[in-house]
């Protein structure tokens, strides 16, 4: 089993939450604490730009999907920007099957996914320029 790790940093004017390993019920307590830290940092941030970096994530379950949706709504209600980056092909397919990823540029209610963190930062900060 891949070990769960979490890192939260500011990068290019965005708050970036990077997850590593498997995100499932075995790490619920840690994950809950990390979610609360993301919410706390968002409340202190000057701008509401949040990127969830899943480049090193090998698995996530329904708990994580629910949190992703909750965070995207929270950021959206504050007129912020939210994006995912680094989904593996398998996790990308899962999110598409659940109809959660953006299908085209007019589908504002879907989650945006970028291949890399730099692409996400560039697009999210460009939208505010």
Average pLDDT rounded to a whole number, residues 31-40? 94
Domain boundaries, the chain: 5-127
pLDDT digits (tens, 9 = 90+) for 47-89: 789 999 999 999 998 889 999 999 999 998 888 999 999 999 9
CATH code: domain 5-127 is: 3.30.750.24
Q: How far is CA 76 from CA 42, 59, 89, in A?
A: 12, 25, 26
Nearest CA-CA partner of 41 in 77, 19, 17: 17
The SS3 call for residue 72 is helix
């Amino acid at each position: 089993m891949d070990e769960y790790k979490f890192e939260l940093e500011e990068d290019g004017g965005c708050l970036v939450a990077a997850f590593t390993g498997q995100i499932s019920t075995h790490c619920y307590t840690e994950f809950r604490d990390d979610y609360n830290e993301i919410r706390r940092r968002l409340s202190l941030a000057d701008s509401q730009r949040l990127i969830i970096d899943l480049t090193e994530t090998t698995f996530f379950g329904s708990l994580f999907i629910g949190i992703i949706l909750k965070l995207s709504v929270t950021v959206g209600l504050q007129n912020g920007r939210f994006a995912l980056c680094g989904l593996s092909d398998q996790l990308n397919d899962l999110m598409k099957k659940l109809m959660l990823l953006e299908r085209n540029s007019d589908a504002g209610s879907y989650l945006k996914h970028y291949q890399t963190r730099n692409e996400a930062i560039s697009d999210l900060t460009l939208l505010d320029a």
